[in-house]
Amino acid sequence: MAEAAWSTDTGEAVYRSRDPVRNLRLRVHLQRITSSNYLHYQPAAQPGKDLIDLATFRPHPTASGHRPDEDEEEEAVIGWQEKLFSQFEVDLYQNEAACQSPLDHQYRQEILKLEDSDGRKNRRIFTYTDSDRFTNLEEHCQKMTTAASEMPSFLVERMANVRRRRQDRRGMEGGILKSRIVTWEPSEEFVRNNHVINTPLQTMYIMADLGPYGKLGYKKYEHVLCTLKVDSNGVIAVKPDFTGLKGPYRIETEGEKPELWKYTIDNVSSLAQPEEEEREQRLFKDLYGRHKEYLSSLVGTDFETTVPGALRLFVNGEVVSAQGYEYDNLYVHFFVELPTTNWSSPVFQQLSGITQTCATKSLGMDKVAYFSYPFTFEASFLHEDESAGALPEWPVLYCEVRSLDFWQRYRVEGYGAVVLPATPGAHTLRVSTWRPLELGTVAELRRFFIGGSLELEDLSYVRIPGTFKGERLSRFGLRTETTGIVTFRLHCLQQSRAFMESSSLRKRMRSVLDRLEGFSQQSSIHNVLEAFRRARRRMQEARESLPQDLVSPSGAMVR
């Protein structure tokens, strides 16, 4: 079977595990590919053979009887934070004078026990745990870029001095803070000293001593095979990644006699037993059950429902913008009018609001004021009349746009109204507005210099007022001028028992909604017809104002 290709992806891989990290087991296999003996040994070719047999490259025993191929290949299974001593550490800690810290004395005792027994089983593969001195130095010497002439910044140096380890110290409950939580005017030195993270993290290095024969235990021959980092959330970072189906990694040593090594890293953590998995599932089930009960206690068990035959309407709206108006510094006064029959709202509910004053900005040819003013309201509809001729009305949203200048002079910029959508969901409404117009130069001068203009006493007069009981509403003599557009964004929600009860009640509510939709269509058709009537009335007024010699006998205007 052919050897797999080299794996050149030595980047970091991140895993997440719910199991304790102490169950992690890695198998590291290290093998020498080329040796200085192979590079300098030239076997003689046998007669009659053009090719050299690979068996002739077998290394010869040394004078002491030790075969070099014993160091050609090594395999070790390593657990999390398992300490495997290198030849350098064995030589160092055998000297009691070199032991300075309690950890050094502990390592000395362990090495002496190994010497008294069968000795250490590893020769080239060893580890540096989270408590070793190498971990501090390695974190301090890490580079941020791939540049050869990189100069560490102040932040890099401070981060290198921070030991990113698990914090076991906990503050006393009820303690008094000795420092301010918020520093309103931080100095430059304060910012530099506090711009450092302190992430709880544990690190482990799997190393290899790739020195030549008889020269094990030198620092210059140490190479990092794998770096493991685990935090308190169960996130495991492995660099490089597990070999798996990929090819082995390679290491080329430098010096007078360069050598090539290959190694693999495999996850050989033992699988959990069925009994352990079942016990773990029970624990998680119990934990999730208690968490669900806790969330239910926060929400409550009483869910407010509507009465039979009622429809509840929730509207979360936003006054988005207003554009196309004459003056700057606009604000919008809006309110919702509920039909007098079958509609109601809670006592605490506010059905009106006023936005903040907003300056306009140029957008193309128009000036736009962006309010982004949120509002919400709730209303209920109780359908009592099931006769076919009963068409329920829907709430109407009225708006009034005003402007306010530096001298606290305000002017009416426009009135508008729109029927709220009868279907739930997100809707964007653009309401066209108009304002009463007073003819004459004096009125315009008064509006410009001292503010004020014609106003409607009743804003519902923009449409048909709810208090109007007649058959025809006359607006004869009212002169208006089209102004700008107000944009609303509405999110409508509807709640009713008919959505989840029997099919008969569901069909009943569906008929109600169909009628409401038909009402909205009738309203739109009414608006179109009303526009035609206004245009026809204006043409009639224009004909009456022209001289008689410019009007034909049929009533049409002639040129």
Region 301-314: mean pLDDT is 79
Specify the pLDDT at position 315. Answer: 93
What is the tens place of the pLDDT at every residue in 408-461?
A: 778 888 999 999 998 899 999 999 999 888 777 777 777 776 776 777 777 777
pTM, 2 dp: 0.43
Host H or E run for residue 37: helix 36-40
**538 Cα distance to chain centroid:** 57
Question: d(Cα 399, Cα 180) in Å, to the nearest integer?
Answer: 47
Classify residue 552 by its DSSP letter.
Answer: -
Question: d(Cα 535, Cα 540) in Å, to the nearest integer?
Answer: 9
Question: d(Cα 331, Cα 357) in Å, to the nearest integer?
Answer: 5
CB 512 within 8 A of CB 382: no
DSSP β-bridge partners for residue 203: 229
Q: What interhelical angle do 154-161 and 133-140 show, nearest 10? A: 170
Buried/exposed 15-44: b ≥16 CB within 10 Å, e otherwise = eeeeeebeebebbbbbebeebebeeeeeee
Query: Of 269, 370, 233, 313, whose CA–CA distance to 494 is shortest?
Result: 313
Amino acid at position 336, single letter = V
Identify whether 436 is preceded by a cis peptide bond (ω within 30 of 0): no
Q: If you average pLDDT over each of 56-60, 142-146, 244-248, 261-265, which comes out highest?
A: 261-265
What is the tens place of the pLDDT at every residue in 249-260?
A: 999 888 778 888
Look at 495 and 184; give whichever has higher pLDDT: 495
What is the tens place of the pLDDT at every residue in 382-397?
A: 876 555 445 568 899 9
CB 205 within 8 A of CB 135: yes
Q: For residue 82, what pLDDT band results from cuts at 50, 70 and 90?
A: very high
Residue 378 pLDDT > 70: yes
Specify the pLDDT at position 428. Answer: 95
The 3-state DSSP class for residue 494 equals strand
Buried/exposed 277-310: b ≥16 CB within 10 Å, e otherwise = eeeeeeeeeeeeeeeeeeeeeeeeeeeeebeebb
Residues 6+ apart with CB under 8 A from 1: none
- φ, ψ of residue 234 to 5 degrees: the values are 85, 15
Question: d(Cα 351, Cα 353) in Å, to the nearest integer?
Answer: 7
Angle at 180 between CA 175 and CA 184, to 5 degrees: 165
Distances (CA, A) of 244 to 7, 208, 247, 445: 11, 20, 8, 85
Question: d(Cα 317, Cα 133) in Å, to the nearest integer?
Answer: 61
**458 Cα distance to chain centroid:** 47
Look at 393 and 178; give whichever has higher pLDDT: 393
Specify the pLDDT at position 553. Answer: 42
Buried/exposed 379-394: b ≥16 CB within 10 Å, e otherwise = bbbebeeeeeeeebbb
Residue 399 pLDDT > 60: yes
Q: For residue 161, what pLDDT band results from cuts at 50, 70 and 90?
A: low
Angle at 86 between CA 81 and CA 92, to 5 degrees: 110
Pairing mode, if any, of strands 330-337 and 352-354?
antiparallel
* DSSP-assigned letters across all residues of 383-449: -----TT------EEEEEEEEE-TTS-EEEEEEEEEEPPSS-EEEEEEEEEEEE---SHHHHHHHHH
Contacts 24+ apart (CB under 8 A), 213-216: 213/62, 213/68, 213/71, 216/87, 216/123, 216/124
Host H or E run for residue 372: strand 366-382
Look at 399 and 196; give whichever has higher pLDDT: 399
Region 150-178: mean pLDDT is 53
